[in-house]
Structure 1
Amino acid sequence: MNIEGNERFIRGWEKLKEIDGEAGEKVIQSLKNIAPDLGRYTIEFAFGDIYSRQGLDLKSREIATVAALSAMGNAEPQLRVHINAALNVGCTPEEIVEIIIHISVYAGFPAALNAASAAKIVFMERGIIANT
């Protein structure tokens, strides 16, 4: 992957590190041997173009992302990364729980229960709640 001079990639990589930290880097690394172009597209488009836009701050973007992934009901690995990201950019655990409760109205209880389970795992990993 030749990234030299690729402003979108550089901007995206910096934004990815700012938001997701090590978890985001691990996602990209996991694609290196199977679909490196998918990793590059994720960095360039999602983070270099979309996350870098003006109009919403990073906290608002992560609220939207956590809501969307929660509503999908089948994207737990991505949801866990973005729950971590939401915490990294200023969301509180209480706000994340409220997002999950809120989506239950629109996406149903199964999606909300799956999201709550993902949040519990992230909160436990970060020492926010005890393993119960």
Structure 2
Amino acid sequence: PFVPVPDTPGGDRLARGQQALADIDGHAGQQVIDSLKDIAPDLARYVLEFSFGDIYSRTGLDLPTRELVTVALCTALGTVGPQLRVHLHGLLNVGGTREEAVEVITQMAGYAGFPAALNGLAAAREVFAARDE
């Protein structure tokens, strides 16, 4: 039977979002937020409050699963390379593996096409190399 996911935790959405961003994406995530402050500070706040404070803080999926799903989606979209790289780092930061990243990107070939999967693997190669340095 269907069991509803518990509501988002109460409290300060911004603080919760900032903590989730730090836990998941670390410095790379903060760079994205910082890059928005001079042109779209409201968008930076929305990303923190909604995406990380509300969505990422839900209890229905663990963080590695959330990041794996996000890597799959970014791969399938094919137009969000910078975000794919951030979320590949995020996946690895929260306990996901390189093998899982490669597998989910490979699976996207059947749903989003080979060009999307090949571009996703190129992004993964860059992220893995950066982490090996």
Normalised TM-score (structure 2): 0.90
Please say if 1:40 is aligned against 2:45: yes
Please say if 1:119 is aligned against 2:102: no
CA distances 1:61-88 after superposition (whole Å, capped 9, x unpaired): 0010000000001100000000000000
Q: Deviation at 1:91? A: 1.0
Q: Distance in 1 between matches of 2:23 and 2:100?
A: 20
How many residues were matched structurally? Answer: 123
Q: Distance in 1 between matches of 2:101 and 2:68?
A: 8
Aligned residue identity for 1:109: F
Normalised TM-score (structure 1): 0.91
Which of the residues 12, 21, 25 maps onto 2:26?
21
Aligned residue identity for 1:104: A
Aligned residue identity for 2:66: R
Runs of 4 or more, structure 1, over 3 Å off, are none
Unaligned runs of 5+ in 1: 1-5
Aligned residue identity for 2:30: E
Q: Distance in 1 between matches of 2:86 and 2:73?
A: 13
Unaligned runs of 5+ in 2: 1-10
Q: Distance in 2 between matches of 1:92 and 1:43?
A: 25
Q: Distance in 1 between matches of 2:95 and 2:63?
A: 9
Please say if 1:58 is aligned against 2:63: yes
Aligned residue identity for 1:112: A
Q: Deviation at 1:54? A: 1.0
**Helix, strand or coil: the match of 1:53?**
coil
How much is the aligned-residue C-alpha RMSD, in angstroms? 1.1
